[in-house]
Structure 1
Amino acid sequence: MSRTWLSGTAVAATLSLCLATAALSQPITAQPSDTVLASFDIVETKVVTRKDAVVFSTRVRGKAGVDMPTATGKFEGSEVYAYVWPTSLNSAEIGFEKDQGIVALAVTFHPDFDDAAYGGKNRHKWHPHWVVLNEDKACGAGLKVTDIPKGSTPKVPPTWPNVPLLIDSPEYPTGFKGNVVNVEIPLKLLGGIKGASYDGVTSGLKVNGNLHAPLLCVSNVFKVASGNLSLPGKVAPAK
């Protein structure tokens, strides 16, 4: 796969800084790039409110969702592909303790394991997650899904999939149509979403081969809608 790479330090540092510096812009548009696989080459991303829902949407140069990781037959070392919307939401908004890291909605595919709520199966389909990200230099792109230390009992949402990560597995309607992927969430579940900042990212993640923390790393970044993870988008009513 041809990929656009960002340094791990730049990804983590810029994403952390941008929460306080995002400017008005909706939607975020990007120039197509032949160096990025078409199904992950973001050309537009937006988060809008419509009546009683908030809709996360990303449009790519090619057909969305057509490219998926190759199954390895084992959990350790397996890969995840994702369409991601980093936001300025607080982790308390999605059911975790407050101020735990960078909150992002992700639509993922991973053929080697299930992480649905209540023991459900989801390895054979694209599906949504909330994740809380933090910097970790051990990861290829400098970010990880935040680990839950062994023996701790943090606050988690009802649809937490019982894995040692700050990850949630809600069953939001998720759709792929042509070059667009979107997720629709009831507005009542996201009280702080109006006016929140966001960006769009396509990325790969990888499970640690030794199953130690960091357990799930952002291993590479395919494309960032803003180009610099500055979260320039502002959630607003659809036009």
Structure 2
Amino acid sequence: MKHSLLTLSTAVCLAGTSAWADDNHDHAIHQEGAIRSEADTAKVASFDILAAHAHRNGNVVTFHMTTNGIAGADVPEATGEVGGSNVLSYVWPTSLDPSAVGFEGGTGILAMAATSHPDFDDTPLYDENNDGDPSNDGIIWHSHWVVLTPTEACGPGALAVRDIPEGETPQLPATWPGFPIFLDSPGFTPLFDGPEIAINVGFRSDVELEGVAYDGVTSALRVNANIHSPLLCVVDVFDVASGDLSLPGKVN
């Protein structure tokens, strides 16, 4: 898994942001159980992970990530087309089975993600910019559950959001946005505070959350020019909190 993620080729040009140094946010980096990562000035600061951690209160888990820049400051440039368009993301892969949030079980790596993509809107139930139109909000950072699987069509060892082949009807969450992939749009709002991003995520009361393993990743994805088969490939990984996607964090 380490090599399949970390050897993907760079495919998205990002505007740089200056490194962030704020003592007020040191506590986030030093949270008990946080996965810590060294700063790397060669990376775009807003996607250079310094720490990832998650904690729970009952059936709510808060996923955090601290970056070396201003989290969420960089978004993709619009291409004017859905096919071939780019997606930027902050991602927390977990050890949870996809069935924990309503997907068919045993189908891949369940991950919480915050994404931005100006060329399409995949949250049809929500109006993130509050303008009365729920179909024009893709560039605003929003949350997804995704199921990731190795997908050779995306490149040797590459990952993709799991496709739904034509004619198949797998179990999907109630807030599935209708795209032919294992993607859910649950409506959890990403919260930004300088170098930090956090998402409060609710779970069913029967989901066992204590000790769930997780990691932190920043990455770019691209929509297939043909729109499907596969639809959404991971094309670049900017940083992995653990360095090897070993999911060393534990929800506590």
Alignment RMSD: 2.0
Of 139, 157, 161, the match for 1:145 = 161
Tell me, in whole angstroms, the C-alpha distance in 1 between the residues paired with 2:210 and 2:123.
Answer: 28
TM-score normalised by structure 1 residue count: 0.86
2:117 is equivalent to residue 110 of structure 1:
yes
Match of 1:157 in 2: 173
1:141-183 deviation digits (Å, cap 9, x = unpaired): 6000000011111111110000100000011132011000000
Deviation of residue 138 (structure 1)? 2.6
Letter matched to residue 171 of structure 1: G
Write out aligned runs for 1:58-97 (5 A). 58-97=65-104
Tell me, in whole angstroms, the C-alpha distance in 2 between the residues paired with 1:155 and 1:54.
Answer: 23
Report SS of the residue matched to 2:219: strand
2:218 is equivalent to residue 202 of structure 1:
yes
Say whether the 8 Å CA contact 2:101–2:203 is kept in structure 1: no
Match of 1:129 in 2: 144
Count how many residue pairs are aligned between Structure 1 and Structure 2: 219
Say whether the 8 Å CA contact 2:5–2:237 is kept in structure 1: no
Write out aligned runs for 1:149-188 (5 A). 149-188=165-204
Deviation of residue 196 (structure 1)? 0.6
Match of 2:105 in 1: 98
* Greater relative contact order (CA < 8 Å, ≥ 6 in sequence): 1
Report SS of the residue matched to 1:114: coil
Letter matched to residue 152 of structure 2: K
1:87-142 deviation digits (Å, cap 9, x = unpaired): 00001001011101000000000000010144833313100000000001232560
Tell me, in whole angstroms, the C-alpha distance in 2 between the residues paired with 1:55 and 1:212.
Answer: 32
Letter matched to residue 4 of structure 2: G
Deviation of residue 27 (structure 1)? 0.8
* Structure 2: gaps of 5 or more residues: 9-31, 127-133
Tell me, in whole angstroms, the C-alpha distance in 1 between the residues paired with 2:190 and 2:205.
Answer: 16
Tell me, in whole angstroms, the C-alpha distance in 1 between the residues paired with 2:206 and 2:233.
Answer: 26
Deviation of residue 49 (structure 1)? 0.8
Say whether the 8 Å CA contact 1:82–1:203 is kept in structure 2: yes
The change in CA–CA distance for 1:11 and 1:139 in structure 2 (over 3 A counts) is same
* Structure 1: gaps of 5 or more residues: 1-5, 13-24
TM-score normalised by structure 2 residue count: 0.82
The change in CA–CA distance for 1:42 and 1:186 in structure 2 (over 3 A counts) is same
Identity %: 45
The change in CA–CA distance for 1:10 and 1:60 in structure 2 (over 3 A counts) is closer
2:246 is equivalent to residue 230 of structure 1:
yes
Report SS of the residue matched to 1:88: coil
Deviates more, 1:169-178 or 1:180-189: 180-189
Report SS of the residue matched to 1:130: strand
